[in-house]
Amino acid sequence: MVAAKISSAVLSYTPPDPPIKEFTPARDRAFFADPTKKSLLSQASAVEEITPTIGTELKGIQLSKLTDEQKDDLALLVAERGVVFLRDQDITLDQQHELASYYGVQDKDPNQQDPKHVTIIGRGGNIRQHDHYGAEYHGDHSFELNPPSYTLLRMVKTPPSGGDTIFTSQTALFDKLSPTFQKTFESLSAIHSSERGYLASINGGGTPHRAPIATAHPLVRTHPVTRLKSLNYNPTFIERIEELNGQESNYILAFLREHLLNADDLTARWKWTPGAVAFWDNRIVVHKAIPGGYDVTLREGKRTAVHGERPFFDPENSESLTERRERLEKEEGTNGVAHKDKEAALNN
Ligand code: SIN
């Protein structure tokens, strides 16, 4: 792997593009979905949860044939389940780009060659080596002012084994914190930086389009559609916690990394096959491609993503998973009692 050092190549390099300005994206397509998602789910031959917390596999659906109504339902399913998986997709690269455009303005990775997609390849190397870049959990380029929301990765070719991807729910990670840590983290923001990737790219012969940036985002964010709170943690791009002293920040980041790495119960691990797709909500999920142990030339995928909103935290209008479950149980109980009272009145 290429070290992230300030080499002469870095010093003499000038990126061609200006920084991307912040903007307000169009209304999230999940807002237009039917809450039961029936136009999509009724067409599936099977809808299987990968784990109770995250990940649903849809069978019998071709992304290339979705109606707009089904696309909206799919967005809601992705927002609710974190990631949706499908196999044996016949969608072409142009159709994939068109589908991404339905969900928003296409995001462009700083190192992306083709404006329409990122080519994802196999990852090797010694992941335990110092400065091995890319083997860590991450949300895709969270340093942007408008980091990606809906992100679709379609594998074109895959090795017979190895190269799986693990997805972890940041909504559940937040929910598993103690109320004291939840409250504390709600008051913090983190600096997400593209500097390390920028240096590694140039030192490896890459030509990043844009100069590195560092952006402060809330450490806990509200999902605009589900209104659930999730952690907005990213071990690859977060440099420090803005409000804390250096050692305090290191301590909190070390805790968050351990919290994430211990979350086996909050993950979905996906074994790829050619034509398989993972469609995730980058706002509430971190992922990592497991490197090593296979022939990296046998793995290739095409990733498309769209810009989401600038991450925000709305304490007045969001809740944790547990708070939501408890509120719904209470409402159901109250409704149940009201229903029984009404029945009793009618019978008397
Ligand atoms: C990514 O980091 O977006 C790609 C994930 C993968 O290679 O599985």
Q: Is the CB of 107 under 6 A from ligand 1?
A: no
- Cβ-in-10-Å burial (0-12, 13-18, 19+) of 133 comes to buried
Q: How far apart are CA 173 and CA 105, in angstroms?
A: 28
Which CATH class for the 8-317 domain? alpha beta
Between the CA of 127 and the centroid of ligand 1 the distance, in Å, is: 15
Q: Which two tokens stand for residue 3?
A: 């070290």
Q: Is the CB of 302 under 6 A from ligand 1?
A: no
Strands ordered across the beta sheet of 83-86? 46-49, 56-59, 83-86, 277-281, 148-157, 300-307, 118-121
The pLDDT tens digits of the residues spanning 120-152 come to 989 887 777 766 666 789 999 999 999 999 999
Between the CA of 344 and the centroid of ligand 1 the distance, in Å, is: 57
C-alpha dist (Å) from residue 217 to 11, 64, 147, 198: 28, 35, 10, 20
Cβ density class 283-293: b for 16+ within 10 Å, e for less: bbbbbbbebbe
What are the boundaries of each domain within the chain? 8-317
User: pLDDT band at residue 339, thresholds of 50, 70 and 90?
Assistant: low
User: pLDDT band at residue 247, thresholds of 50, 70 and 90?
Assistant: very high
Between the CA of 174 and the centroid of ligand 1 the distance, in Å, is: 23
| pLDDT attached to residue 337 | 63
| pLDDT attached to residue 335 | 76
C-alpha dist (Å) from residue 215 to 24, 147, 260, 268, 274: 17, 10, 22, 29, 36
Q: How far apart are CA 316 and CA 196, in angstroms?
A: 36
Please check whether residue 265 is in contact with residue 53, taking contact to mean a CB–CB distance below 8 angstroms: yes
The pLDDT tens digits of the residues spanning 33-73 come to 999 999 999 999 999 999 999 999 999 999 999 999 999 99
| pLDDT attached to residue 336 | 66
Which of 236, 221, 239, 228 minimizes the C-alpha distance to 311? 221
DSSP state of 224: T
